[in-house]
Homo-oligomer: A and B are copies of this chain.
Amino acid sequence: MAKRSTTTEPAIDSTEQKIFDAAHEVFSQKGMDGAKMQEIADRAGINKALLHYYYRSKEKLYEMVARAILNKAVSAVREVLEKEMPLEEKIRRFIETYIGVISRNTFIPLFIISEINKHPERFFATILPQDLPKPHLFFQQVEAEIAAGRIRPIKPQHLLVHIISMCVFPFVGKPMMAVLLGMRPAKMQTFLKERTAEVTQFVLAALRPQ
């Protein structure tokens, strides 16, 4: 078996990388149970045996992919949440970058959430990254602004959850929303593009002191 150092990235067009990319596509769309090794092999343009040659088992391959997905999501949140900048700017930037990441990778949140639900043990034991974003600084900033009377009183945890929900959910539940709103795909596309501005405006309006 190819013993691969985790720290060294495999070459872009190596078989190993092609397998990983194919697995990424299939797992992120169908989850662990729905994904089939045959489909991954087909997409990678190789045969099943090679999957096992590079990544011993389906389980192992899955873990690799799942970790990569998680890391992407986590670093996007941390990027903004932990930086030093004025609250309003932080909120604007958070919404913008977060919606950006999600809209370019719609499957991420659904993947994470589904897999936590189906296999919580595995998820927390082997997939969740060690160093999660710390929202502490953000909470302190909110408290400070409230104390200074520059924003309406609100529990900072709820504010964060409000924002994340409005950023993520419309993309996760896109087909549902489309049906409810009676929008065809093209119109839905336009609608989702407006979200960044709409969410920002909504949040800032809700925070304006009485």
Contact = CB atoms under 8 A, between A and B. Distances in A.
Contact of A169 (B169, B175, B199, B206): B169
Interface residues of A, number: 55
Contact of A117 (B29, B168, B169, B206): B29
B158 A168 contact: no
A161 B133 contact: no
A203 to B, nearest CB: 8
Report copies per complex: 2
B158 A109 contact: no
A190 to B, nearest CB: 11
Contact of A114 (B114, B166, B180, B181): B114
A157 to B, nearest CB: 6
Contacts of A158: 191, 194-195, 198, 202
B199 A162 contact: yes
A182 to B, nearest CB: 8
Interface in A144-183: 152, 154-155, 157-162, 164-166, 168-170, 172-173, 175-177, 179-181
A47 B199 CA distance: 51
14 contacts: A29-B118, A30-B117, A31-B114, A107-B117, A109-B176, A113-B175, A155-B198, A157-B181, A160-B181, A161-B170, A168-B169, A168-B173, A203-B206, A205-B206
